[in-house]
Amino acid sequence: MKKLVVSCCLACISLLTYAQSAPKYSNEFLFVGVGAKSFGMSQSVIASVDDVTAGYWNPAGLVHLKDNVQLSYMHSNYFAGIANYDYSGVAFKAGENNAMAVSFVRMGIDGIPNTLDIWKNGVLDYDLITEFSSVDYSFMFSYAQKLLKNGLSFGGSAKVIRRKAGQFANAWGFGLDAGLQYKLDNDWRFAVVARDVTSTFNAWNFTFTDAQKETLAQLNQEIPKNSLEITLPRILLGAAKKVQIGENYTLDAELNADLTTDGKRNTVIKTDALSVDPHLGVQFGYADAVFVRAGVGNIQKVENIDRKELWSFQPNIGIGLNLDKFAIDYAMANVASTAAVNYSHVFSIRFKFNSSTTDTTSN
């Protein structure tokens, strides 16, 4: 009975113990993505991104802002509403050849029962059950600059990470991202992004009362210790092509590949040192105002009911409406990192101020 009662709380603590001991999937909340457009295109946007979300995807794209100032907000629920994910950002031109952005990401699970304190003097007291939240925050500060070569831009982001699990655990972290974008006159675009280029470090601190430690010991649960968690670098590669169809129609296609260095993953190409995860997105537009999007990603091998290995993939779809002062995007996307079907509705909105047309390479 006692084990059953504390199971929910211990599940969270076990995840924290795992996180401090294994670099794989560290800070994975930072790779969920932002902007419904990117979800509709299966996150295949690093070569073509040219709006406020570039502060997250590829800071080099900020120099191609069509507006002097852009604001964006996104909210979505994941895993049947268990987790809430929010993003907000602001970007602005700092000059003719440079731009800046500030981005904020929050992912949290609220209302988790804390059952470590319900035993008092050997008696089970359900009135002592409290709740806590497991929340991850990231603050990103991005800067982009056009380089001497026409069409080439460079950007970097410094990110501060704050992670908390109630009163039990908290961490502060810091990391750096860097990106390049190269746009040709024939509408080919290429990009390289280095996430956590110097590795990202989270310093974890765990706090438990003596009674909580005793409860954990009785259940043979390991008590987490203060430690340093490391997020290893990942390289993103992208190539995109824009095709004009008649006077009002356009077709954009982009292929990205994520190269991870934190051990073998279930991806198309996988080795002990490197895993490669390709994904593709397309966007069909009318009059630069209405967009229909689709993408495919998370390609991996899974076992069917007969325990035979088959290739699986996850398709995503989305639509967008671009108006004079704001844009609205929607996507129905599978956000899980496994082959399990876990579609979510993703909405985002972008506000535009003081529009300009000085950058004719943007779409």
pLDDT tens track for 328-337: 999 988 765 5
- Residues near 117 by Cβ (< 8 Å), separated by ≥ 6? 128, 130, 209, 211, 212
pLDDT tens track for 6-18: 444 544 444 444 4
Q: Residue 11: what pLDDT? A: 43
Q: Distance between CA atoms of 47 and 61, rounded to whole angstroms?
A: 8
Going from the C-alpha of 204 to that of each of 27, 87, 93, 159, 225, the distances in angstroms are 12, 24, 37, 17, 8
- Judge whether 339 and 315 are in contact, CB under 8 Å: no
pLDDT at 252 over 70: yes
pLDDT at 56 over 90: yes
Mean pLDDT value across the chain = 84
- Judge whether 279 and 295 are in contact, CB under 8 Å: yes
Write the burial class of residue 54 (CB in 10 Å: 0-12 exposed, 13-18 middle, 19+ buried). buried
Q: Distance between CA atoms of 254 and 240, rounded to whole angstroms?
A: 4
Residue with tokens 């457009």: 37
Q: Distance between CA atoms of 82 and 172, rounded to whole angstroms?
A: 24
- Judge whether 250 and 243 are in contact, CB under 8 Å: yes
Residue 17's SS3 state is helix
Question: Which of 171-185, 249-263, 314-328, 347-361 bottoms out in mean pLDDT, i.e. has the lowest?
Answer: 347-361
Q: Residue 74: what pLDDT? A: 95
Strands (E), 125-273: 130-146, 152-165, 169-183, 188-195, 200-206, 227-231, 234-245, 249-260, 269-270
Q: Distance between CA atoms of 48 and 152, rounded to whole angstroms?
A: 13
Q: Residue 53: what pLDDT? A: 96
Question: What percent of the chain is modeled with pLDDT above 70?
Answer: 86
Q: Residue 360: what pLDDT? A: 44
CB atoms within 10 A of CB 313: 15
pLDDT at 20 over 60: no
| The two structure tokens encoding residue 218 | 């009785």
Question: Which of 30-44, 59-73, 260-274, 335-349 bottoms out in mean pLDDT, i.e. has the lowest?
Answer: 335-349
pLDDT band at 255 (very low <50, low <70, confident <90, very high): very high
pLDDT tens track for 105-136: 999 988 888 777 776 666 677 777 788 888 99
More confident position, 213 or 91: 91
Tell me the CATH architecture of domain 2-355: Beta Barrel (2.40)
- Judge whether 155 and 97 are in contact, CB under 8 Å: no
Question: What percent of the chain is modeled with pLDDT above 90?
Answer: 50
